[in-house]
Amino acid sequence: MPHVAGLRGVLPEPSKLAEVIAAPVELAKGLAAGTLVRDPGLAVYRYHQTFAGPGGRAFTRKSTFCAVRLSAWTEGAIRPHEATTAAQRDAALAQIRASGGHTEAVLYGVRDAASEVDRLFRKAESSRPLFEITTADGTAHKLWRAQDAELIGKLRNYFTPKKLHLLEGHDRYEGMLAYRDELAKQQELVMYSSANYGLACIVPMDDPALFAAARHRVIRGVTVTSEAVITAAKQHFIVEKLAGAATDLDKVFRSLAENLAHQPAFVAVFAGEADAWKLTLSPEVSPIAEGVKVHRALQKLDPIVVEHLFVERLLPGAQATTEIDARRAIAALATDGKVALITRPLTVEQIAHVDEVGELLPPQSTAFHPPMAAGLVSLIIDPDEDLA
């Protein structure tokens, strides 16, 4: 069962808000310089992000910054849907060690069809926000502080019987676990020690403003030719040339939108070429029958098909990174990128289904839009400080 707690958040000094959001500062240096300030008591923080969604319509995503007790995946209270790599975990751990705290929250989803969390925060949201700022991507951010012990207790009681779906930040979560374990070897950690908790941002899974985003892959380190790759791909895919589309993302996305959601599809763009290639999994092809080890219900999700039937088999030696902005993925082809794979996002329900059946997607398969503003709330980890 997840345990939610308040925290003594580290926040931007109000007059330095824009500066911190643009370039987050180290915790110790920011506190010493007065750029950051620390709340004197425990609190949770209500967070709104208002942004333009599909068709230009305005959406407001409502979430809550708090502390969540860390637990191993095997305990089942927190459910992941993506694998991580050792390099990602090590990088996250190094960042936590260097800062002595958590400066980036892990994003969790929770089932809240009755909108109980919204009801609990209604009074807090009627007051003036602690912070208001619009970031360069056009997202308006608002943050409220809630220090009422009764409210924090009601949140804790409400979340206790639920499962938390880890939506974004799998590497950070594993880094938090590793840091906790390091501290536990140095001294005994009491139950409510801040070292046993991680900085969290929890959003209702039912929120219509919760949008998953695609992660487009940039492939480096391969020497195969586009002709060889496309010829081999025809064993599993229906291949369509998109003439002149290598730099025409509108054409690429229009083409992908023509596919039904259950038809796995993506577009490959090769460095130095003007055309792009749309690949749709042939209806008669079963990834499981082709040797992919995955739950039958998930075998035709786009990230599974892209990774296991295309990258692993047709791009030997591939070194992959991801970009949420497709333009950046295409731009990488002008430097050291060899292939860009433009993909579609999964739905929130597809992502939840992955962890509900106990499976993991390949690393960095999913993202969420818009991103949280950097530097709004941080958590100092002090083994001798309790969050209760």
pLDDT in tens, 310-347: 999 999 999 999 999 999 999 999 999 999 999 999 99
d(CA 322, CA 101): 26
Over 90: is that where the pLDDT of 359 sits? Answer: yes
pLDDT in tens, 365-375: 999 999 999 99
Question: In this predicted structure, what is the pLDDT of residue 373?
Answer: 95
Over 90: is that where the pLDDT of 216 sits? Answer: yes
Q: Which two tokens stand for residue 260?
A: 């039904």
Question: In this predicted structure, what is the pLDDT of residue 348?
Answer: 96
Q: How confident is the model at residue 214 (pLDDT cuts 50, 70, 90)?
A: very high
Q: How confident is the model at residue 262 (pLDDT cuts 50, 70, 90)?
A: confident
Calculate the average pLDDT of the chain: 96
d(CA 276, CA 23): 36
| CA nearest to 3, candidates 213, 163, 148, 224 | 163
High-pLDDT (> 70) share of the chain, %: 100
Over 90: is that where the pLDDT of 213 sits? Answer: yes
Whole-number Cα distances in Å, 319 to 210, 213, 315, 333? 30, 22, 9, 14
Question: In this predicted structure, what is the pLDDT of residue 293?
Answer: 95
Over 90: is that where the pLDDT of 268 sits? Answer: yes
Question: In this predicted structure, what is the pLDDT of residue 83?
Answer: 97
Q: Which two tokens stand for residue 142?
A: 């608002």
d(CA 115, CA 119): 6
Q: How confident is the model at residue 24 (pLDDT cuts 50, 70, 90)?
A: confident
Burial of 349 (0-12, 13-18, 19+ CB in 10 A): exposed
Over 90: is that where the pLDDT of 205 sits? Answer: yes
Q: How confident is the model at residue 1 (pLDDT cuts 50, 70, 90)?
A: confident
Over 90: is that where the pLDDT of 99 sits? Answer: yes
How much of the chain is helix, strand and coil, in % rounded to 5? Answer: 35, 30, 40
Q: Which two tokens stand for residue 200?
A: 């969290």
pLDDT in tens, 251-261: 999 999 999 88
Question: What is the CB neighbour count within 10 angstroms for residue 303?
Answer: 25
pLDDT in tens, 137-171: 999 999 999 999 999 999 999 999 999 999 999 99
High-pLDDT (> 90) share of the chain, %: 96
Question: In this predicted structure, what is the pLDDT of residue 388?
Answer: 82
**pTM beyond 0.85, yes or no:** yes
Question: In this predicted structure, what is the pLDDT of residue 54?
Answer: 86
Mean of pLDDT values over 215-232:
96
Helix (H) or strand (E) holding 321: strand 319-323
Q: How confident is the model at residue 357 (pLDDT cuts 50, 70, 90)?
A: very high
Whole-number Cα distances in Å, 271 to 226, 326, 331, 336, 343? 9, 15, 10, 9, 17
